[in-house]
Amino acid sequence: MNEILDFSIAEALRELVAGNLSSVELTTAALSRIERTEPILHAYAAVAAEAALSAARMADDELRHGLCRGPLHGIPVGVKDVVCTRNLPTEAGSAVLKGVQPNFDATVVERLRHGGAVLVGKTVTSEFAFGPRIIPTRNAWAQDRTPSGSSSGSAVSVAARSCFAAVATDTAGSLRSPAGVNGVVGLKPTFGRVSTWGVIPMSPSLDHVGPIARTVADCAAAYSVIAGFDQRDPCSIEGDVPLPCLENVRLDGLRVGVERTHLPGPTTHPLALNAAVEAAAVLQQLGAAVVEVKIPELEWVDPSLLTIKTAEASAGHSARLVTDAANYQQRTRVMLQAGAMIPAVRHVQAQQARKLVTDAVRETFRRHRLDALLGPGWGPPSSMSDDASVPFTHPLRSSAVNLTGMPAVNVPCGFTEDGVPLGGIELWGRPRGEGMILRIAAVYERVGRWHRRVPPIAQEAG
C-alpha cells in the first residue's frame, strides 16, 4: 500500500483521476508514514489527521463528479509552522506563540485548499525561522546528521515520503539548504511571486515563500498552485504563473554562467564545489554553453545580508521582546537584542551594498546573455550536536538571491560514500525566470536520477 507514496505528484494525480486510487487511500498512507517515522524524525509540529481525511473525502467526491482543481488535487502536503492556518496552531517553533491558533489561512494555504490539496500537518521550523529548534528534527537520510534550517520539517517530511510537497520559507537560504541536505528539490521564487500575507515575517525585505518537493516537476506543480498576485501583500507582483512544460526540454542554445571566484563562500564544502564543476560539465555535454563570469560584488553579500536580516528581525520582535523576552530561546533572544543595536547608518550602508550586488548580478545576466547561473549547494550534512541546532559550512553567498530577489532552485546532485546527500547544486535565474531554471534543472535531474533514491527510514517504514 505505501508504495503509492513513491509516486510523483503527476503519477498520483493520474491514478486519482483514473479512479485507480483515492485521495483517502493516499492520505491514509501518508498519515501512517507520519505515525511510523515521526518518533524518530520529528518533522511535524502538528498533524491534522481528521481534517486531512475530511479534505481527502471531499477531493474524492469532486473527482467522482468530474472536478479536478489542479495538479495538487487530492495530494497530501505540509506547511511550515510560520504559515498561518485556521485549523491548526501556528507557533513558529517558539514558546512565545504556544497554543496560538489563527482564525484565518495565509494566502498560500488558501491557494492550496482551493487547489484541492490535502494539508496533513504543520512542519517544524527553527524558532521564528531565526533561532534554534525546540523540536529535535533529524535528517531523513542519517539521523545523526543535521537537517539544516529553518525549514527543517518541510524538507525532512518530503524526503521521508510523508507528504508530496511542503511550503517553506527562504530568507537567507533556509528553504534551499534543508532541501539540499535532505536530497530533495527546493525552489525560492522571485521576490513577490508568492504571497507572504499570513506568514510570520522574519525579515520582510528578504523573506520568500516557496515549495519543497521530491522532483523538479513536483516542485513546479506546487509552485504553480501557490504563486500569483495577492493584493493583500504590498510586495506582490502581477503576472501569470503558468505551469512550465518540462517534457522534451533541450539545452541547445542556452547559456549558463559559472562564477568560480566570488560565488563560493570561504567555507563552502569541497564536495559542493566538485559537484558544481561536474554539473557544469553535464550541462555542457547536453548542449548548453557554459560561460565563465566574475562578480566581485558578491563579496558584499555576507555582511550586508546579516545586517539587514538581523535589524529587520529585531524590529519585528521589538514589542514582544519587552513583554515576553523570557519565552524566547536564549540564542534567539541574544540575536534579536543585538539587532536592536545596529546603527541606522550601518543599515543604510547594507542597503547600498545590496543595490550594488543586485545591479552587478543583473548586469552579468544581461552582458553575458545568461539564462541561468550555476553555483554550489550546501555540501553534505554535518554531524548533529545534542541541541539539534549545530551550524554547518555552507555557501552563504547563495543568499545573494535573497538580496537581489531573483529565483533559485536547489537540485540533488548525488550522495557521499556513506549515503548522505551532497547538498545539491544551485541554479539562479532572471527575475520571473522560474520556468527557465526549472527546465534546466529538470534536464539535469533526468541525467542523475538521484530523486529515485529512497531514504532508509522510508524503506523501513513500509
State residue 243's pLDDT score. Answer: 86
Q: Please, which residues have CB within 8 angstroms of residue 66's CB and are 6 or more apart in sequence?
A: none
State residue 386's pLDDT score. Answer: 36
Query: Beta partners for 79?
Result: 122, 167
Reply yes or no on whether 355 is catalytic: no
Query: Beta partners for 267?
Result: none
Catalytic residue among 80, 122, 188, 309: 80
Reply yes or no on whether 151 is catalytic: no
What's the CA gap between 369 and 202, in Å, rounded?
Answer: 34
Each of the 462 residues of the chain gets a pLDDT tens digit; together they read 579 999 999 999 999 999 999 999 999 999 999 999 999 999 999 999 999 999 999 999 999 999 999 999 999 999 999 999 999 999 999 999 999 999 999 999 999 999 999 999 999 999 999 999 999 999 999 999 999 999 999 999 999 999 999 999 999 999 999 999 999 999 999 999 999 999 999 999 999 999 999 999 999 999 999 999 999 999 999 998 888 899 999 999 999 999 999 888 777 889 999 999 999 999 999 999 999 999 999 999 999 999 999 999 999 999 999 999 999 999 999 999 999 999 999 999 999 999 999 999 999 999 999 999 999 998 999 887 533 444 434 456 899 999 999 999 999 999 999 999 999 999 999 999 999 999 999 999 999 999 999 999 999 997
State residue 387's pLDDT score. Answer: 38
Catalytic residue among 126, 151, 154, 174: 174
State residue 396's pLDDT score. Answer: 60
Q: Is 49 helix (H, G, I), strand (E, B) or coil?
A: helix
Q: Please, which residues have CB within 8 angstroms of residue 336's CB and are 6 or more apart in sequence?
A: 130, 310, 313, 314, 317, 321, 328
**Structure confidence by residue, pLDDT tens digits, 354-379:** 999 999 999 999 999 999 999 999 89
State residue 385's pLDDT score. Answer: 56
Reply yes or no on whether 195 is catalytic: no
- Residue 7 φ/ψ, nearest 5 degrees: -60, 150
Q: Please, which residues have CB within 8 angstroms of residue 352's CB and are 6 or more apart in sequence?
A: none
Angle between helices 216-226 and 9-18 (to 10 degrees): 70
Query: Beta partners for 167?
Result: 79, 211
Q: Is 382 helix (H, G, I), strand (E, B) or coil?
A: coil
**Structure confidence by residue, pLDDT tens digits, 221-273:** 999 999 999 999 999 999 988 888 999 999 999 999 999 998 887 778 899 99
My answer on whether omega of the bond before 126 falls inside 30° of 0, hence cis, is no
| Nearest alpha-carbon partner for 350 in 315, 380, 306, 314 | 306
Pairing status of strand 425-428 against strand 372-376: antiparallel
State residue 2's pLDDT score. Answer: 75
Q: Is the pTM of this model over 0.95?
A: yes
What's the CA gap between 58 and 61, in Å, rounded?
Answer: 5
Cα dihedral 298, 302, 304, 305 sign:
positive
**Structure confidence by residue, pLDDT tens digits, 55-78:** 999 999 999 999 999 999 999 999
**Residue ranges of domains in the chain, CATH in brackets:** 2-299+347-461 (3.90.1300.10)
- Residue 155 φ/ψ, nearest 5 degrees: -70, -45
**Can you give the length of the chain in residues?**
462
Catalytic residue among 22, 150, 157, 398: 150
State residue 391's pLDDT score. Answer: 40
Q: Is 226 helix (H, G, I), strand (E, B) or coil?
A: helix
Pairing status of strand 165-170 against strand 76-80: parallel
